[in-house]
Amino acid sequence: MAEYKGMAQPSRASDEDMRKIHIEPVPDEQKPEKAVEYLDYIRKQFRSFVMAMETCTKCGQCAENCHTYLGTRDPNNIPANRAELIRKIYRRYFTLEGRWFGSLVGAEDISLDLIETWYSYFYQCSQCRRCGHVCPFGIDTCEVTFIGRQLLHWLGITPKLHSDVGAAMERVGNHTNMPKPALADTLEFMCEEAYDEFGVEIEMPLDKPADILYVPSSADFLLNPYTLMCAGMFFHYIGASWTIPSAVTEAGNFGFLFDQYYTQRHNIMRLLNAAQELDTKKIVWGECGHGWRAAKMYIPTKADRPVRWDITHLHDEAAHLIRNGELKLDPNKNSRPVTLHDPCNYVRACGLNENMRTCIKASCSNFVEMEPYGYDNFCCGGGSGILFDDPDMYNKRIQLSWKKAEQVRETGVGKNGDGILCAPCSICKAQLYPMVEEHNLGVEVKGLIDLVGKALVWD
Partner 1 sequence: MKLLIGQILPYITIIIFVLGVFYRLGRWVGTQIIHNITLSDPWLKTNGQVAVRIGTEAFLFRNFFIFDKALWAGALLMHLSLLNVLGGHVVGFGTLGTQFAFIPGVSEQLSQSLSNDLGTIFGILLFVALAYLLIRRLSITPIKQLNKPSDILWLVFLLLIVGVGDIMRFFHQFHVEYEPVRDYVIALGTFQPVVNMELLSNPVFLVHFTLVNILLILFPFSKLMHLFGMFAERWIVNRTYHEPAPGMPNIDVAAARKAGLGLPSSGGGAESSSEGV
| Phi, psi for 368 (deg, rounded to 5) | -125, 130
Instruction: Decide: 384 and 125 in contact? Cβ < 8 Å.
Output: yes
Q: Which stretch binds partner 1 (CB under 8 A): 33-41, 54-62, 396-404, 431-439?
A: 54-62
- Phi/psi region, residue 301 (left: phi>0; alpha: psi -120 to 50; beta: rest), is alpha
Indicate the residue among 311 and 425 with the shorter CB distance to ligand SF4: 425
User: Per CB under 6 A, which of residues 320..379 are in contact with ligand SF4?
Assistant: 379
Distance CA 253, CA 259 (A): 10
| 10 upstream amide cis, omega within 30 of 0 | no
| Phi, psi for 31 (deg, rounded to 5) | -60, -50
Instruction: Decide: 405 and 435 in contact? Cβ < 8 Å.
Output: yes
Indicate the residue among 128 and 178 with the shorter CB distance to ligand SF4: 128
User: Per CB under 8 A, which of residues 388..447 are in contact with partner 1?
Assistant: 446
Residue 128 binds which of ligand HEM, ligand SF4, partner 1, none (CB < 5-8 A, kind-dependent): ligand SF4
Distance CA 119, CA 106 (A): 20
* Distances from the Cα of 299 to the Cα of 127, 266, 293, angstroms: 18, 11, 9
Indicate the residue among 62 and 370 with the shorter CB distance to ligand SF4: 62
Indicate the residue among 154 and 388 with the shorter CB distance to partner 1: 154
Distance CA 267, CA 166 (A): 9
Q: Are strands 7-8 and 212-215 parallel, antiparallel or unpaired?
A: unpaired
Residue 353 is a binding residue for partner 1 (CB under 8 A): yes
Distance CA 308, CA 21 (A): 29
* Among residues 8, 35, 142, 191, the one that binds ligand SF4 under rule CB under 6 A: 142
Residue 222 is a binding residue for ligand HEM (CB under 6 A): no
* Among residues 30, 55, 59, 279, the one that binds ligand HEM under rule CB under 6 A: 59
Min separation Cβ 58 and ligand SF4, Å = 5
Q: Which stretch binds ligand SF4 (CB under 6 A): 1-9, 126-134, 276-284, 352-360?
A: 126-134
Q: Dihedral sign, CA of 275, 238, 219, 205?
A: negative
Distance CA 377, CA 408 (A): 11
Question: Binding string, 159-198, against partner 1, x = CB under 8 A?
Answer: ------------------------------------xxxx
* Among residues 80, 165, 248, 379, the one that binds partner 1 under rule CB under 8 A: 80
User: Per CB under 6 A, which of residues 39..58 are in contact with ligand HEM?
Assistant: 57
Residue 211 is a binding residue for partner 1 (CB under 8 A): yes
Min separation Cβ 159 and partner 1, Å = 23
User: Per CB under 6 A, which of residues 19..38 are in contact with ligand HEM?
Assistant: none
Q: What is the DSSP string of 243-285?
A: EB-TT---S--THHHH-TTHHHHHHHHHHHHHHHHTT-SEEEE
Residue 81 is a binding residue for partner 1 (CB under 8 A): yes
Distance CA 51, CA 382 (A): 27
Residue 215 binds which of partner 1, ligand SF4, ligand HEM, none (CB < 5-8 A, kind-dependent): none
Residue 425 is a binding residue for ligand SF4 (CB under 6 A): no
Q: Which stretch binds partner 1 (CB under 8 A): 11-19, 29-37, 147-155, 348-356?
A: 348-356
- Under DSSP, the state recorded for 206 is B
Distance CA 43, CA 85 (A): 15
* Distances from the Cα of 222 to the Cα of 187, 216, 217, 401, angstroms: 11, 12, 10, 23
Q: How many residues bind ligand SF4 (CB under 6 A)?
A: 27
Indicate the residue among 129 and 266 with the shorter CB distance to ligand SF4: 129
User: Per CB under 6 A, which of residues 233..272 are in contact with ligand SF4?
Assistant: none
**Residues in the chain, total:** 459
Residue 127 binds which of ligand HEM, partner 1, ligand SF4, none (CB < 5-8 A, kind-dependent): ligand SF4
Residue 136 is a binding residue for ligand HEM (CB under 6 A): yes
Instruction: Decide: 328 and 417 in contact? Cβ < 8 Å.
Output: no
Min separation Cβ 103 and ligand SF4, Å = 19
Q: Give which of 100, 87, 102 is closest to 55, Cα–Cα.
A: 87
* Among residues 9, 49, 53, 68, the one that binds ligand SF4 under rule CB under 6 A: 68
Residue 112 is a binding residue for ligand HEM (CB under 6 A): no
User: Per CB under 6 A, which of residues 377..406 are in contact with ligand SF4?
Assistant: 379
The distance in angstroms from the start CA to the end CA of the chain is 57
Contact residues: ligand SF4, CB under 6 A: 56-62, 66, 68, 79-80, 82, 125-131, 135-137, 139, 141-142, 145, 379
Contact residues: ligand HEM, CB under 6 A: 57, 59, 136
